[in-house]
Amino acid sequence: MWELVGSNMPVISFVSPKGGVGKTTATLLLAGELAEANATIRIIDADPNLPLVAWAALEGKPDAISVVGCRDENAIIDEIEKGTTQARFTLVDLEGAATATVTFAIAQSDLVLIPCKGSHLDATQAARAIKLVKQTARGTKTEIDFAILFSQIPPALRSNNQRDIADQFTDAEIPVIPVMIYNREAYRAMFATGGTLRTISARGVGNMKSAIENAELYAEAVIERLRTARARREAA
């Protein structure tokens, strides 16, 4: 499918001070595509509601994906460090608030993805997340790569608001993942019935081909972002 990133074991965190922007969906879609590419993935579910822990209890979870819940800010670093020794990728789904847990996870991340639905309210919250990433990087004296991820976007028509916000991010030289996650029935079905896009494909969910294509392109874009960031660090 694509060449996975080098020999390191990257940590990817999904961050937004606002709930309901698609962090959990983005986490699971990426995990599913990485598993399809024969990688092992450890998901750390740090959302207080533990939606991914609930998903993992349903049928259809690939053996390559493990999920652990973490509600304790004192344990998040330990869980991330375990992930980097036990799996090819560690994905951290964080709560929709600016907490110590979020800051600790950001500090351990190779890439922070900031989901944004495309409204001005979401853009404001994304700006808060960017500020938190930059403050954490400054405090730890490390480079922490980040990018905006447009999510839950209607597949048929992009709104003027979303276009305006994308232009504003570009003008401000804020990095944006070049593939949007669309609003798809198949993505919601994963949480209702269990499994990934690949394992629910035979369950009568509509428009699976487009959903899988969107997920593949999204995962490829994330891998490319990791690869570019690593090359930049090695050249520095």
Q: Is the pLDDT of residue 8 over 80?
A: no
Does the predicted TM-score (pTM) go above 0.85?
yes
User: 156-171 pLDDT, tens per residue?
Assistant: 766 777 888 888 888 8
Strand partners, 93: 14, 45
Taking residue 137's Cβ as centre, other Cβ atoms within 10 Å add up to 18
* Cα–Cα distance, 220 to 114 (Å, whole number): 17
Q: Are residues 230 and 5 in contact, defined by beta-carbon separation less than 8 angstroms?
A: yes
Tokens (6 digits) for 28: 């699971």
Helices and strands, number each (H, E), in the chain: 8, 6
Burial class (CB in 10 A: 0-12, 13-18, 19+), 90: buried
Q: Is the pLDDT of residue 78 over 90?
A: yes
What's the mean pLDDT in 26-31?
97
Q: Which domains does the chain have, with CATH numbers?
A: 11-235 (3.40.50.300)
Q: Considering the chain, what is the average pLDDT of its residues?
A: 90
* Cα–Cα distance, 147 to 130 (Å, whole number): 9
Q: Are residues 165 and 123 in contact, defined by beta-carbon separation less than 8 angstroms?
A: yes
Scanning the structure block, which residue is given the tokens 């997920």? 215
Q: Is the pLDDT of residue 62 over 80?
A: yes
**What is residue 47's three-state secondary structure?**
coil
